[in-house]
Amino acid sequence: MRPLHAGVAVLAIVTMGALVVAGGRAVQRGGDGSSVDQLQAIAEQPIDAPTTSAIPQPDKATKPEQHSRTIDPEAVAPPPLQSEELERIDPRPPLSKLALAMPPKPKMPNDWDGTKLFNPVASAAGLIEAKGYSVAISGVDIVRQDETCSDNDKSWACGVRARTAFRAFLRGRTVICKVPSEGGRDLIAAECRIGKQDVGQWLVENGWSRAARGGPYEDAGEKARTARKGIFGPAPDLSGLPPVPAAPNPAPQASSSILEEVGGELRPADPPAPAE
């Protein structure tokens, strides 16, 4: 049975091959005559052989003809104009004021950011002199250096003490005051600050100046008076300080002349004794 099956299989393969060949010839007769035979010839050629001659080339006559568009230079170029026909017109107004270069507005005294005063000197508590300016801190009453305060019928130099405390607060730091750009001889009342700290607020809070009536520091002045700070406090205790040294003996006076008359004769005067 096995040889019979093998023969049937071989017969079927041969039949299928014959059908394929017959179909290819039918396609060759119905087409342009260059499909099956040409492909078969290409398949039978060796690998090294060139195949460009066997590949069908498209017909050049069948390509669509491309045409370029002509441009009339007279129609594209602007027409010539005479200079007399041109007219210059004004530009349009700007759309907003942001496009205009406006001059800066002048600063008024209330708009000043402040003037830096270097190396300030406190001549009194609340009075600053620097850079040709004499500035009184606004909102406070200046405590003069010759002012005295009393505590239990005891007088003490509170003005000198307040000036010393104010100088220790400044410590030569730059003070920024709202004063004009040019200094003058007149006393100017202005707000001053060191960094972000208000100078007038510090003076009143620590009791080294009195708050002006109706000023911004009245509440701080009442608190300092109640707490007895600064000039509102007791007199400083000076018992721990050493006694004041006695005044030295006056120096001997030198003679007006290096010669003195003795018995009608001029002799050199004796030098004065050295002071002890």
Tokens representing 29 are 């007769």
CA distance 124 to 136: 9
Instruction: Give the range of the structural domain holding residue 191, as residue numbers without chain letter.
Output: 109-232
Which of 193, 209, 232 finishes a domain? 232
The reported pLDDT for the residue numbered 82 is 72
Residues 228 and 120 grouped into a single domain: yes
CATH code at position 202: 2.40.50.90
Compute the distance between CA of residue 70 and CA of residue 163 in angstroms, rounded to an integer: 98
**Interatomic CA distance for residues 138 and 183, integer angstroms:** 17
Examine residue 175 and state whether it is found in any structural domain, yes or no.
yes
The answer to whether residue 124 is domain-embedded is: yes
Residue 52 belongs to some domain of the structure:
no
Q: Is 256 part of a structural domain of the chain? A: no
Q: What's the full length of the chain, in residues? A: 276
Shared-domain flag, residues 115 and 25: no
pLDDT at 55: 52
Same domain membership, residue 36 and residue 119: no
**pLDDT in the model for residue 17:** 76
Q: What is the pLDDT of residue 12?
A: 81
CA distance 32 to 271: 153
Report the b/e string of 234-269 with b at 16+ CB within 10 A.
ebeeeeeeeeeeeeeeeeeeeeeeeeeeeeeeeeee
Domain for residue 251, yes or no? Answer: no
203 lies in the same domain as 122: yes
Report if residue 250 sits inside a domain.
no
Secondary structure of residue 46 in the 3-state scheme: coil
Q: Are residues 33 and 122 in the same domain?
A: no
Per-10-residue mean pLDDT of the chain, 276 residues long, equals 71 78 58 56 58 53 63 65 76 78 62 80 93 91 92 88 95 90 77 93 95 93 94 82 73 64 67 60
Q: Quick check: is 75 in a domain? A: no
Measured distance CA(135)–CA(156) in Å, rounded = 27
Q: What pLDDT is recorded for position 230? A: 93
Any domain includes 166: yes
Q: What is the dihedral of CA 104, 110, 112, 113, to 10 degrees?
A: -130
Identify whether residues 15 and 119 lie together within a single domain. no
What is the pTM (predicted TM-score) of this model?
Answer: 0.49
Give 168-235 as a 3 state SS string.
HHHCCCCEEECCCCCCCCCEEEECEEECCEEHHHHHHHCCCCEECCCCCCHHHHHHHHHCCCHHHCCC
Same domain assignment for residues 14 and 124: no
Question: What's the domain count of the chain?
Answer: 2
Q: Is 198 exposed, middle or buried (0-12, 13-18, 19+ CB in 10 A)?
A: middle
